[in-house]
């Protein structure tokens, strides 16, 4: 169990964000951040309202990690092809309103609880993000700061589109830049998961390039070789 996975942390989390995360997920994130190799960056694919973003930030602060955190999210949700359509069974909340609410909530959450070391949230798809990362492109984040993408990665948190095609590409793109000794965590990847991301887990295991560090039920891997 991690040093900071305690009742104190859950008290902090209760004020930092609405919502629930499991203790086991927090411990996996802690392991990845605590042991992230020096001179690397952390990338989070899919950040919703900023809960996991703030957890990563918490452990960066706790362990004195200076690696920058980049977040990639379009904030485009299922069924949102028409932003003026009502979301789900609602008769008054549109996809546009919901999206604006989520983006605003993310900003407020990280500005409050990660203000000491703000992440760099980039509003784009993970495919576009990694394309620009590959070319070391300078972009503006959601706070209108200029930031240059690119460089080695030490920890990748994959929590974007959970279909096989997207999750597979997110892993392949992460693996290109993840250093030996770095970590990759797949959300909703347990053996009993209803999401196709669990197919990617089988491929990672079969590659022989990664070691399972945690399985509780989501998978945290450590990269052994290129």
Q: Is 2 left (phi over 0), alpha (psi -120 to 50) or beta?
A: beta
Q: How far apart (Å, rounded) are the C-alpha atoms in residues 123 and 109?
A: 16
pLDDT number for residue 132: 98
Residue 1: pLDDT band (50, 70, 90) is very low
Band (20; pLDDT cuts 50, 70, 90): low
Domains assigned to the chain: 7-223 (3.40.50.150)
Q: How far apart are CA 187 and CA 150, in angstroms?
A: 23
**Is the pLDDT reported for residue 7 higher than 60?**
no
* Most confident listed range (13-27, 92-106, 204-218): 204-218
**Residue 84 has what pLDDT?**
84
Give the residue from 172, 142, 128 showing the smallest Cα distance to 50.
142
Smallest Cα–Cα separation from 5: which of 33, 32, 24, 18?
A: 24
Instruction: Tell me the pLDDT band of 87, cut-offs 50, 70 and 90.
Output: confident
pTM tops 0.85, yes or no: yes
* Run of H or E residues at 70: strand 69-72
Residue pLDDT, tens place only, 102-132? 999 999 999 999 999 999 999 999 999 999 9
């Amino acid at each position: 169990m991690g040093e900071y996975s305690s009742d104190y942390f859950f008290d902090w989390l209760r004020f930092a964000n609405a919502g629930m995360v499991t203790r086991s997920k927090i411990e996996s994130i802690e392991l990845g951040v605590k042991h992230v190799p020096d001179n690397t960056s952390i990338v989070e694919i899919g950040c919703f309202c900023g809960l996991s973003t703030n957890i990563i930030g918490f452990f960066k602060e706790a362990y004195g990690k200076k690696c920058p955190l980049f977040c990639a999210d379009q904030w485009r949700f299922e069924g949102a092809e028409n932003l003026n359509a009502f979301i789900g069974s609602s008769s008054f909340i549109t996809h546009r309103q919901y999206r604006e609410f989520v983006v605003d909530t993310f900003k407020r959450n990280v500005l409050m609880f990660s203000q000491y070391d703000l992440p760099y949230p980039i509003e784009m798809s993970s495919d576009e993000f990694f394309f620009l990362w590959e070319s070391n492109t300078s972009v503006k984040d959601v706070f209108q700061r200029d930031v240059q993408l690119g460089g080695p990665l030490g920890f990748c948190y994959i929590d974007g589109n959970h279909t096989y095609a997207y999750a597979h590409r997110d892993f392949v793109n992460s693996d290109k830049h993840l250093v030996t000794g770095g970590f990759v965590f797949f959300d909703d990847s347990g053996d009993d998961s209803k999401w196709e991301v669990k197919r990617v887990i089988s491929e990672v295991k079969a590659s022989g390039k990664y070691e399972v560090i945690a399985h509780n039920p989501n998978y945290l891997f450590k990269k052994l070789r290129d």
